[in-house]
Structure 1
Amino acid sequence: MLGTFAGALAARQISFTGLYADTVGEVEEEGKVLVLKRIKQTFHLTAAEEDRERIERVLRVYADSCPVARSVRGSIEITSELAG
């Protein structure tokens, strides 16, 4: 998912450095089995402030082109946000 986000930024010629994500999975018990229900990602990167709106727009749509996000859609809720 991080790679798809980075690729989407690059495709839009948005310059950035230091991209990484803090990712947290939330698990619930279903019939004595632990099941991953939610993934929350917080992306960290350094970019020009004037690109913030475009970066946030990419953040809203990149998952539609992400193989991992598309594979688990409907089973695992995925949320993404920018740090700071």
Structure 2
Amino acid sequence: MDLVRGTNGFEVIHENGNWQLNRDTGFSPTQATVAAVAACSGYVYDTILEKKRIAYTIEGINVTFEQDQEAVIHVLKKIEVTFTLKVAQEDREKAEKALHLVKKSCPVAMSLDPKIEIIEKVVFS
């Protein structure tokens, strides 16, 4: 992976178009990190639900985060990943219990400082 300085800051080079890492014109590096946790968690949750043979559709993933605004460097304090899941009523409890496997199976989440609180939630549609 290569980065170059574009007209609006650093960009990750990609054959389908560069990805700007600038909060004014794209996503900040912190937002990209949080998005990576959410995407990785989504792929992991997909795998877990498939292995458990639960019929489902992930309709969306919402991710929010908090930074330590009192520190000199505003490090991440908390990331909350909420999955909107379509699943049969009888499988909802199993789908909810499967959430506890997501964080420890996500390489992105496991690569972050352990002080960062990562919370996974599921809402059913």
How much identity, in percent, do the aligned residues show?
Answer: 33
Q: How many residues align?
A: 84
Aligned Cα RMSD in Å? 1.6
| Structure 2 residues without counterparts, runs of 5 or longer | 1-40
Higher relative contact order (CA 8 A, sep 6+): 1
SS in 2 for 1:79: strand
Per the alignment, residue 75 of structure 2 pairs with 35
Amino acid at match of 1:51: D
Look at both structures and tell me which one has the larger radius of gyration over its CA atoms: 2
**Structure having the larger proportion of residues in strand:** 1
What does the per-residue CA deviation read over 1:7-39, in whole Å, with 9 as the maximum and x for residues that have no partner?
111111111114321100101135421111100
| Structure 1 residues without counterparts, runs of 5 or longer | none
Relative to the length of structure 1, the TM-score reads: 0.86
What does the per-residue CA deviation read over 1:49-73, in whole Å, with 9 as the maximum and x for residues that have no partner?
1001110110122222111121125
Relative to the length of structure 2, the TM-score reads: 0.61
Name the CA distance, whole Å, in 1 between partners of 2:98 and 2:113: 18
